[in-house]
Structures are given as C-alpha cells and as structure tokens.
Amino acid sequence: MTKSKKTRNQSLGNVVSCNDEMHQIFDLAIQASQSNIPIIITGESGTGKSILAREIHLMSNVRGEFVSENCAAFSETLLESELFGYNKGAFTGANIQKNGLLLAANNGTLFLDEVGDMPMTMQTKLLCALEKKAVRKIGSCVWENTNFRLICATNKSLRCLVQTKLFREDLLYRLQGIELHLLPLRKRKEDIPLLIENFLQTIPIAKQKNIHAIDHEAQNLLINYHWPGNIRQLHHEISRIVALKKAGNCITCGDLSPQITGKNHRQYRTLKQAVVEFENRYIQQTLKMVEGNKSKAAGLLGISRRCLYYKIGVSS
C-alpha cells in the first residue's frame, strides 16, 4: 500500500504538478497575473485550462468578479445576448433589460473558454468591444464602458483556424498577449500520483469514507494509461472508484475501469489497422474543423482533393 510522494511538487492554488515544464508555466502565470495583458491558455480538453484561469484571477489585483462563458455551448444568437446583453423589447422574449457578461466582468476577469468555436460575426463584435473598451447591448444605440482582464482558452490551434479563414487574425493578435500551454497528462505522468493524492484529499465522499490510499500495482496501471481525457478523466475515474468503494479500504486494481486494466477484451489491431484508423479519425477531425469544406481539408492534409475523396470513400 502506497501514498503518493510529494517530490519536487509545486502548486498554483488548485493546480498541482511536479513537472519542470509545468513549473515554468506556473512562474509565467504568476507574472502574468500582475498585469492586464490578455492571456490565452492552450491545451487539450481536460488539462485544467479553466482552473488555471481562475487561479490567475485570484492572484491578480482586480477587484471585480471572475465571469466565465463557454463559447461552444451556445448558438450565435444566444452567445451574443449572453456576452453583450440586451434592452427590453430588443427581441421576442426580451421582457427585461439584461447586462451581458462583458459588463458583468467590469473591474474583474472575463474568461472565454473554447474561444476557437466562436462564430466569425461574434469575433468581429468582440474585437470591436475590446478596442473600444465598451459594449452596446442588443437593441441599444448607447455604448457602455467596461474594463476587464481577458483570459481565453482553446483546445484548437487558432493559427490554423486563421489560415482556414475560421478565426480573425486581428483578434488573435489581441488575445495572445501571453500564451500558457498546458501539457496533456500523458506527457506529465510523474504528476499522476500527486493528482491522485490531491483528489483523495479533496473529493468529499473520499474524505467521508476515509479512502486515502492506493496500492502500488493499481497506481502503476494508472500511471501507464494514456489518459485521452487528461486530468478530467482521471478525476472522474477516482470519483467513480470512491463512490463504489467501501469505507476505509485501499484502492486496488480490481477497482479500476476495464480500459485501464486492459481487461475489456478489445481485439488487438495490427499496425496497418491502427494507421488506417488514425488516418480516418484525423481526416474527420480536419473536415469538422473546416466545416466540411473538402478543398480546405485537402490543403491542410497536404493531399489532392481526389485523394481525399478516395480516402473518405474507402473509410465509409
């Protein structure tokens, strides 16, 4: 039975790591928090971008609130009303006047998650608001001043989106004052024991059940797993385990999910099968990023349009 060792560990509020590259990110985040320069946090889904954004806000000197929104969670119309607000009677159902999040974040921090999914028309309006430091509600002719610290996050390459005309280049320049890139969990596996220990100390039901240890074999399986969902997936795995575990018991291999232990009986793939599967998935991801435009997709993939059609036909 083992507990995680805190070797060279460092924390930034709720963000913990013993990885040297992450420590450099921590140092840069601390410096960035003391200025009003826009920050963009990049990294795969589940790496902790929103948590880092909140910690930067807490370290800063701003007096206002931390206001956040996920740009991928709303349609264009709803996102506009959420960010900019609206006047009474501006549209059907607008029975009251409502301030948007850009006004709510005045003297505070505005965090825009998944900013790469923001529609182009909304990008234009956001850029205008940033340049004017003012907001005009839907249905209003009056500009209202607002001053906030802007932090954005994305799991996409904004530069790639600029090349495919899906993101405004001038807005990118406004957003990327300081870039903080969070490593995927598979590239900081030394953090897994530390994260497990942290979760067991902070998940309420784990504390209630007095579950605070994991045996060596189970911990090694967790370390060697590739974690496509990153820290979020690890947190969900530990939460699931402690929810089902009897009080006071140590976590063992039998508690882990089948995909982690390798006991899900999936058929082993040949190298050729794995390459074909990766190629198909990569093509689909590229098509999704360019909204189905096959010419743009072929250009990004470095293949002819004819070749792309052939590969799509073979995979379907």
In terms of domains, do 102 and 250 share one?
Answer: no
CA distance 24 to 27: 5
Report pLDDT for 97. Answer: 87
In terms of domains, do 148 and 97 share one?
Answer: yes
Residues in the chain: 316
CA distance 54 to 14: 9
CA distance 24 to 178: 13
The pTM assigned to this predicted structure is: 0.78
Residue 129 included in any domain: yes
Copy the structure tokens of residue 115: 């900013």
Inter-residue contact 137 to 86 (CB < 8 Å): yes
Give the pairing of strands 149-154 and 109-113.
Answer: parallel
CA distance 179 to 42: 7
CA distance 123 to 117: 10
Residue 4 included in any domain: no
In terms of domains, do 250 and 283 share one?
Answer: no
User: What are the backbone angles phi and psi of residue 252, rounded to the nearest 5°?
Assistant: -125, 175
CA distance 168 to 109: 22
CATH number at residue 247: 1.10.8.60
Identify the domain boundary among 215, 237, 261: 261
Report pLDDT for 316. Answer: 53
Report pLDDT for 268. Answer: 57
Say which amino acid occupies 153.
Answer: A
CATH number at residue 177: 3.40.50.300
In terms of domains, do 193 and 307 share one?
Answer: no
Each residue's pLDDT expressed in tens, for the chain with a length of 316 residues: 444 333 456 788 889 999 999 999 999 999 999 999 999 999 999 999 999 999 999 999 888 999 999 999 999 989 999 999 998 877 878 788 899 999 999 999 999 999 999 999 999 999 999 999 999 999 999 999 999 999 999 999 999 999 999 999 999 999 989 999 999 999 999 999 999 999 999 999 999 999 999 999 999 999 999 999 999 999 999 999 999 999 989 999 999 999 999 875 455 567 777 788 888 888 888 888 888 888 888 888 888 888 888 777 766 5
Report pLDDT for 110. Answer: 97
CA distance 54 to 61: 13
Say which amino acid occupies 149.
Answer: R
CA distance 138 to 98: 10
Identify the domain boundary among 218, 241, 261: 261
Q: Give the rounded distance of the alpha carbon of 280 from its chain centre.
A: 24
Q: Which domain holds residue 145?
A: 16-181
Report pLDDT for 26. Answer: 95
Report pLDDT for 149. Answer: 95
Query: How many alpha carbons lie under 13 Å from residue 132 in its C-beta half-sphere?
Result: 14
